[in-house]
């Protein structure tokens, strides 16, 4: 099984100026590239889960979305960041689809496609609806906000979120290392007693 970080797009990876779709206005949030590289180096699949209601509202077309999305992915690749996949919902709330966050279809499609171990994975977003998977599954959510939030881990940026995950990984590996040593010590003692 694979571990993954599910990422919201607008407001988490790139600046959200509202209905983002023009490639000449793409602006990565400061620290995002570094944060994504940290997560990638830790072995996480990077999967974007994004609502794009501007399509359903007629503000831009699916073709314009694809041009922007492909441009963004190429810009990230140039900077050494590989996004495993992007799952997008073009609907508005009134469509009552199964994919628009906070509904979970896009997440479950990604989980199935990439054989994701949710116990070792994270969701990062700037809105509570981005973390809806945490209500139903054993996955940790990080809300990008300046405000304290008791339900989720909260960090000020994707970069801070990546550092948090990196520190969690270090402490987890340390626990495994110590645990394995103590198990070996027990086995050695049993040989002599």
The catalytic residue positions are 8, 10
Of 31, 34, 43, 61, give the one whose Cα is nearest residue 5: 43
Of 28, 50, 69, give the one whose Cα is nearest residue 123: 50
- Alpha-carbon gap, residue 127 to 118, rounded angstroms: 20
Name the token pair of 47.
């999967």
Of 5, 34, 9, 8, give the one whose Cα is nearest residue 169: 5
């Amino acid at each position: 099984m694979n571990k993954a970080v599910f990422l919201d797009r607008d407001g988490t990876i790139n600046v959200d100026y509202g209905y983002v779709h023009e490639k000449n206005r793409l602006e990565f949030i400061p620290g995002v590239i570094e944060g994504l590289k940290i997560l990638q180096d830790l072995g996480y699949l990077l999967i974007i889960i994004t609502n794009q209601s501007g399509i359903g509202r007629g503000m831009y077309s699916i073709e314009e979305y694809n041009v922007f999305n492909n441009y963004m992915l190429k810009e990230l690749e140039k900077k050494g960041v590989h996004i495993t996949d992007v799952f997008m919902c073009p609907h508005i709330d009134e469509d009552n689809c199964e994919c628009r966050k906070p509904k979970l279809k896009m997440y479950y499609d990604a989980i199935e496609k990439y054989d994701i171990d949710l116990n070792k994975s994270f969701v990062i977003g700037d809105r509570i609806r981005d973390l809806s998977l945490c209500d139903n599954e054993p996955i940790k959510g990080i809300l990008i906000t300046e405000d304290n939030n008791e339900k989720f881990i909260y960090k000020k940026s994707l970069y801070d979120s990546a550092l948090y995950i990196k520190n969690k990984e270090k402490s987890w590996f340390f626990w495994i290392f110590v645990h394995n040593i103590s198990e070996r010590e027990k086995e050695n003692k049993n040989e002599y007693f």
